[in-house]
Amino acid sequence: MTEPIVKGRNLVKRFGSVTGLNHADFDLYPGEVLAVIGDNGAGKSTLIKCFAGAHTPDEGQMWVEGKEVAFKSTHEAREHGVETVFQTLAVAPALDISANLYLGRELRKPGILGKVFRTLDKKRMRKESGEHLQDLGIMTVQNITQSVETLSGGQRQAVSVARAAAFGSQVIILDEPTAALGVRESAKVLNLIQDLRKRGISVILISHNMPQVFEVADRIHVQRLGQRAAVITPKTHSMNDAVAIMTGALQVPESEQTLGPVNVPA
Amino acid sequence: MSAPATPDYDLDEEFTTKRSTVQRIQMTLHRYPWLSSLIVLVAVIIVFGLVNERFLLPNTISLMIQQTVIVGTLAIAQTLIILTAGIDLSIGAIMIFGQMLMANFAVYTTASNVLPIAGQNPIIAIILGIMAATAAGAVNGFLIVRFNLPPFIVTLGTWSVFMGLTLILFKARTIQGPEMPETMKFMGDSFPVGPFNFSFGVVTMFVLYLLFAWILKNTAWGTHVYAVGDDPVAAQLTGINTKRVLFSVYLVAGVVMGIAAWITIGRVGSASPNVDPMLNLQTITAVVIGGTSLFGGRGAVIGSLIGAMIVNAVEMGLSLAGVDQAYRTTAIGLLVILAVGVDQWIRKVKQ
């Protein structure tokens, strides 16, 4: 049986007297798109922020690719191949696309120029940014020096996704990627997600939008009251079921859940 | 990593949208905010040149550049800080602190009541002065980063503290030029370039501008300074150590203030604790007129040099035209407001 690429057991996270996560479990299998849904305050964001390195859980264990991990920063999560596209996108609007793609991991020129004078290799960063964006079918190279603030919401999302996908990451976490977008741009982002899966990247998608979740997800992790209430698939359960699980009206016995991997089409 | 065969969607088209000429001009100004300042500077020079031919004499131009040197150098420090969405009201006080420290170390004889530190090697005195200003900048940075205090308040406080400290340590005594070795006044020495006259202070200022323009453009640190000013939360999420960047900016600004202290002794010819109480505000004026946004993340050091020169050119031009000081001050004030207005308009390019 396939081992989960990202696994969490008994995760607890408290914020003062508020409990964000109450012994939550989590499994993401290689190559799948796993949606995480749940009501406000169910602990979706807290859960994924633990794997993103933005939160450190108070209790419980996490594994990435079978190795136990304890992330203290987003940087550490990234080193383990877990990239996150935050809801706020974490872009610097005034900087250009290539500077944003390489923000925090800039490339320096080879030799003395880079080592002693710490000169950036802008040419290479621009060229490679263009390639990364083209890989995702997003844009042409000549516009790579455009500042991010001149881009539309969907384009910014695309830049953020490209940044997450560009550095050989295994897992990409997308936090509400379509929340601020119109219908047309949302469709593009969903296409991007499917594209990521085609490239063998595992995706965690946090979303409120049920139709979108049921369109792209292989499995759906339903979070309720800080715990994993159930894991279902769009094939085994309906949207109404999902809402019922979210609100606690429906309880799914483990035998009817999809806790193991589903057959992911290559 | 192989590219997918054919993407079935096309964001491409939106990235390559054609823009009209006006939009493209706006875009260019948006990308290079200092460009509009340069246009203003050229316009100011042409207008005053037509009004009064003395304005364009090499002597006048040399003098104008000389007059820019103190505010111009300090404006580099202010620009770095404003790029991080901060502000430094203590710039003048720190510069004067450094200046009085170097002068008191180098002065030939100790006047009564002043620290018994006189008669040091001027090079060592200068280095100590620059180090003191750097330490003062580090104090600002430490308070801002460690305790999360707003830069406005911190530097308002340290402005008073360093002013007071200067008076406590060095009394209100002005150290006259002849009391100091020549090295202390080196930055005021000038040499002819064609019909113009440049001081070493001016040359140093230009070198500093080139240096920082290069650093901001071509190093990761430079990119991070912009990113931190633009959106500190985003910068942190991308893995930038925002606290370290902020602290380093105040530290580096301190170094620049220290160098400005040496330049000021050369320019003024003496070291006085009452150089100019308006220095802080003048640097902010230069930065703003130079197109750097007070909200951080946008702008360029080179704009601040242009900004400082615009202020000086307007002052000089109006003065040559026989306009009263009070009107000149008013004109500079209007210029600042106009600059911010133009800035806001240009920024409307973003969607």
Helix, strand, or coil here: A24? strand
The closest alpha carbon to A49, from A81, A72, A31, A28, belongs to A72
Rounded Cα distance between B35 and B209, Å, is 16
* Res A261: pLDDT: 83
- Give ∠ CA A19-A73-A59 in degrees, rounded to 5: 35
In Å, what is the CA distance from B168 to each residue of A224, B94, B100, B113, B162?
64, 14, 11, 10, 10
The closest alpha carbon to B279, from B61, B38, B73, belongs to B73
- Flag whether residue B231 sits within 8 Å of chain A, measured between CB atoms: yes
Chain A residue numbers touching B5 (CB-CB < 8 A): none
- Flag whether residue B227 sits within 8 Å of chain A, measured between CB atoms: yes
B9 vs A108: CB contact, 8 Å cut-off? no
Between residues 249 and 308 of chain B, which touch chain A (CB distance below 8 Å)? Answer: 297-298
DSSP label at B159? H
CA atoms within 13 A on the CB side of B59: 2
- The CA-to-CA distance between both ends of chain B, in Å, stands at 34
In contact, A163 and A41? CB cutoff 8 Å: no
Rounded Cα distance between B137 and B59, Å, is 36
A104 vs B219: CB contact, 8 Å cut-off? no
Q: Is the pLDDT of residue B6 over 70?
A: no
* Res B12: pLDDT: 47
Chain B residue numbers touching A195 (CB-CB < 8 A): 4, 7
A95 vs B227: CB contact, 8 Å cut-off? yes
Q: Which of B6, B31, B219 sits opposite A120 (nearest CB)?
A: B219
Chain B residue numbers touching A135 (CB-CB < 8 A): 1, 3-4
B234 vs A90: CB contact, 8 Å cut-off? yes
- Flag whether residue B194 sits within 8 Å of chain A, measured between CB atoms: no
Complex ipTM above 0.85? Answer: no
Q: Which pLDDT tens digit goes with each residue over B76-116?
A: 999 999 999 999 999 999 999 999 999 999 888 766 555 67
Rounded Cα distance between B127 and A96, Å, is 39
Tell the CATH topology of A6-90+203-256.
Rossmann fold (3.40.50)
Percent of chain B's residues with pLDDT above 90 = 57
Give the pLDDT of chain A (266 residues) as one tens digit per residue. 588 999 999 999 999 888 889 999 999 999 999 999 998 888 898 999 999 988 899 999 999 998 999 998 888 888 899 998 888 778 888 888 888 888 888 888 888 777 777 788 888 888 888 887 777 766 544 577 888 887 877 778 888 888 888 776 889 999 988 887 778 778 878 888 888 888 889 999 999 889 999 999 999 999 999 999 999 999 999 999 999 999 988 888 888 888 888 865 54
Would you list the domain boundaries of chain B? 31-89+127-154+194-264+276-347
**How many interchain CB pairs under 8 A, A with B?**
127
In contact, B35 and B308? CB cutoff 8 Å: no
For an interface test with B, the pick among A95, A102, A185, A194 (most B C-beta atoms closer than 10 Å) comes out as A95
